[in-house]
Homo-oligomer: A and B are copies of this chain.
Amino acid sequence: MSSVRTGEMAKLTQLIDNEVFRAYATYTTIVLIKMMLMSVITAFFRFRRKAFANPEDVSSFGKGENAKKYLRTDADVERVRRGHLNDLENIVPFLGIGLLYALSGPELSTALLHFRIFAGARIFHTIAYLTPLPQPGRGLSWAVGYVVTISMAYNVLKTGLYL
C-alpha cells in the first residue's frame, strides 16, 4: 500500500511541480496571509483603543459599568474591519478564479503578470486603507485587482466553457 501512496504522491507532485501552479500557490498564500494579518491588526486596535464587541472580552477590565464602557465601536477598529471585509470580497474570487485559471494552461509569463499585479494591488489597497492615503489611491488599487480577476475569469470561460 505504501507504494501505491508513493505513486499517487508522484502524480500530485506533478501538479505542485508545474510552474504556473506553483506561482498560483505562492501568490495565493501571500494574499491569504496578508488577509489573515487584518485579524491581528483588528485585535491590536481593539486593545489599544479599548473598544470591544463582546461582554466576555471586557470582563477583565472590571465589573458592571466599568467594563461596559469598553463595549463600543471605534473609528480605527471599524476602518480595519472594512479593509478585512474588502479583502474577503476580492480575495475569495481570486482564490477560485485564479485556481481555475492556473489549471486552464496559460502561458507562465502571462499568469505571473496576473498574479503579481493582483497581489501588489491588494497589498497597496491595505496600505491605502490603513494609512489612509487620499483617494483615488485605494479606489484604483481595488479596481486593478478587480480587472485582473475579470481577465482571468474571461480566460477560464474561453478555455473551458461548459454550460
Please give 8 more A-B residue pairs, beta carbons under 8 A apart, in addition to A56-B135, A88-B88: A9-B105, A16-B105, A26-B162, A28-B96, A35-B89, A56-B134, A59-B135, A91-B92
Known: A56-B134, A161-B26. A92 touches B12 (CB 8 A): no
- Chain A interface main SS type: helix
Taking CB atoms, residues of chain B closer than 8 Å to A108 are 5
From A81, which residue of chain B is reached at the shortest CB distance? B85
Q: Which one of B21, B33, B100 lies within 8 Å of A28 (CB-CB)?
A: B100
Residue count of chain A within 8 Å CB distance of chain B? 70
Q: Is A117 an interface residue (CB 8 A)?
A: no
Is A89 touching B18 in the complex (CB atoms < 8 A)?
Answer: no
Interface string of A149-163 (1 = CB under 8 A from B): 110010011011111
